[in-house]
Structure 1
Amino acid sequence: MIEDAITAPSMHNAQPWKFVHRTDTDTIELHGDPSREMPREDPDHRAIHLGCGAALFNLRVSAAHHGRKSAPRLLPDPDDPWHLADVRIQWVRQAAVDDRLAALRPALRIRHTSRFPFTDEQIPSEILDGLRAAALLEGCHLVLPGAWHTDTVMHLVHTSQLFEAADASVRAEIASWIRTDAGDESGGAEGIPSAALGPRQYDVTSPVRDFDSSRHVTERPSARFENHPRIALLGTAEDTPMDWLRAGQAMQRVLLRATLDGLSTSLTSQPLEWPELRADARDPASTAGYVHMVIRLGYGPRGGATPRRPASEVLTFV
């Protein structure tokens, strides 16, 4: 189940999770890993909560696949903000297993972030409705912006790129998680390898972050991306650590559902990492007052797998 859990996405593939199984109980604890925090880009640890929430959702999916019921309790210890959840895993009769969760399990190992161009093929409305419903099941909202709102988000993407280019400390933090040469890629189990960066955009028409803006990766091709990207904004009414964990679970539920529906996806939080830009990303007509992730949807290459730390490195028995 932990091997399934750690297939979750996380900011810069930092994998900010630790699990503890107390062998005299039926509970798995989920903890954030402070050694993987990003002080410049994620000072409030919102991204850590999102990534750990996605891993928590994968754990729930895996438990259902194995015929078990999972009962998560979020933020169980008020004195320990890094103790994010306790998940009670119980054997139950097959009729009590959540079949909707179990059905998502085949997508765990094939869901990968795609930083490649998508086609202009329209996504059927019934698929988009299903993705909205997936977010609602986790208590979150998935907003599918129209043309003017999409243009607004793209403007925020462009502005955040300028902010990032002007801040050397942010660029250095990003660079520490990007593996841009063979030496890095041969020995690391975290971060983003150069093969997963995708091509450069001729014009930035799609919200795909260029992690190699300094152009350290040689012979990287360029490509034209979709002119009218289909994006979705994942949000909640409030903006607390509890909401971030719920949003992480909703994000993963949406991504797995999209994968089974034949869609490719990519994530970006770039314009949401700047407080002066984040508020402008929301739809004023939506009840989702706080946006946590911009999800790009479409038909195209699914992207390759990125490295993961082994389960033995993130799981402790006590």
Structure 2
Amino acid sequence: MPQLDVKTVTTLVAEATSAPSMHNAQPWSFRFVTDEGVLLLRADLERAMHRTDPGHRALHIGCGAALFNLRVAAAHAGITAEVRLLPEPADPLLLAAVRLGGSAAPETDGDDLARLHPAIGQRHTGRYPFEEKDIPEDVRAALQAAAAREGAELLFPGAWHIESLLELVRDAESRDALDPSGMEDLRRWTRLGPEADVATDGVPEYAFGPRRRDGKAPLRDFAGRRPVADRGTTAFEQHPHLALLSTRGDTLADWLVAGQALERVLLEATLAGLATSLTSHPLETPDLRLLARDPVSGRGHVQMVLRVGYGPQGPATPRRPVREVLDIA
């Protein structure tokens, strides 16, 4: 088993932090307790979306995605990883404790986790048009199985439900237009002009993708009314493939489960040659989020809306240096 030296732990955390998070805020921090071989994952509330995510649901989902990447990286390195979620009830910002290289048996699907490792570096949010091409049933089934292995459910809604979801996205966009304060978080976490070239977090302008001239793909316009040079406009798909990720409950632990399931689905999709993007826009207000669930077949609580299809992977978005997110004691 590899020695848990500083270089090894740094590599694991670097791969963990490749995970997606709302507006790429990267709302996590890690502390490695050397004597115990335990890596602690904490929420960083200074990176929370106080306007659009006041309950920190999206924050927990992002941290859960980072936790899943950590599990994949550990499996790839041949290191056991024993995970405890929310180990200290009196410390709600401590989201997980991961004992690395202990005597516990490795994860039962360790080989499958290691198989996903190449996708960590390949997965990027695709804010470009996808092809008008169906996703094969076996690929859909593999994505649904990926979510189920993490205790979540992935539903591919029918045509009428997709139209309903798109209406919810438009409703959320209209609310933002009527209440400019709703754009506070977006403005805080977007990087324009020279700032984009040196950013270590947020969404830089080169990752915005083109403006939508036509089509129904649900994409948040990170530029808003601000000008972005050489961005251009183009037509997106008229029949986007959407999927809803849901959990049975809606607690802090469920949000961490959702984040791990989300990242497992995204990595599986990447290996299958799919591009992906996420939208939480219709889930950021309680009334719209309730309407996102399929009233006929939907169960549980919708945690994320995924757009999947065949198209270009977007550019990599920046990440903070590991030294800023990892403390070794």
Could you tell me which of 116, 124, 147 is aligned with 1:135?
Answer: 147
Match of 2:246 among 231, 235, 244: 235
User: What percentage of aligned pairs have identical amino acids?
Assistant: 50
1:110 aligned partner: 122
Q: Is 1:17 equivalent to 2:28 in the alignment? A: yes
User: How large is the RMSD of aligned CA atoms in angstroms?
Assistant: 1.5
Alignment of 1:1-318 (within 5 A): 1-90=12-101, 98-182=110-194, 184-203=195-214, 205-286=216-297, 288-318=299-329
1:69–1:96 Cα contact (<8 Å) kept: no
1:15-72 CA-partner distances (Å, limit 9, x unpaired): 0010010010121000000110111100000011000000000000000001012111
Pairwise CA distance, 1:193 = 0.6
CA distance in 2, matches of 1:188, 1:47: 22
CA distance in 2, matches of 1:80, 1:95: 26
Instruction: Say if 1:95 and 1:195 are closer, same or farther in 2 by CA, change over 3 A.
Output: closer
Q: Contact (CA 8 Å) 1:68, 1:97: kept in 2 or not?
A: no
Classify the secondary structure of the residue corresponding to 2:49: coil
Consecutive aligned runs of 4 or more in structure 1 exceeding 4 Å deviation: 91-97
One-letter amino acid of the structure 1 residue matched with residue 84 of structure 2: R
Shift of 1:204: 5.3
Name the structure 1 match of 2:9. Answer: none
Tell me, in whole angstroms, the C-alpha distance in 1 between the residues paired with 2:137 and 2:183.
39
Gapped regions of structure 2 (runs ≥ 5): 1-11
- Aligned residue for 2:278, secondary structure, equals strand
Q: Distance in 1 between matches of 2:324 and 2:235?
A: 40
The CA deviation at 1:187 is 3.0
Measured at CA, do residues 135 and 95 of structure 1 come closer, stay the same or move farther in structure 2, by a change above 3 Å?
Answer: closer
1:141-168 Cα deviation digits (max 9, x unpaired): 0010000000000000000000111222
| Counterparts of 1:149 and 1:291, CA distance in 2 | 13
More off after superposition, 97-106 vs 265-274 = 97-106
Specify every segment of 5 or more residues in structure 1 that has no aligned partner in the other structure, as ranges: none
Residues matched between the structures, number: 317
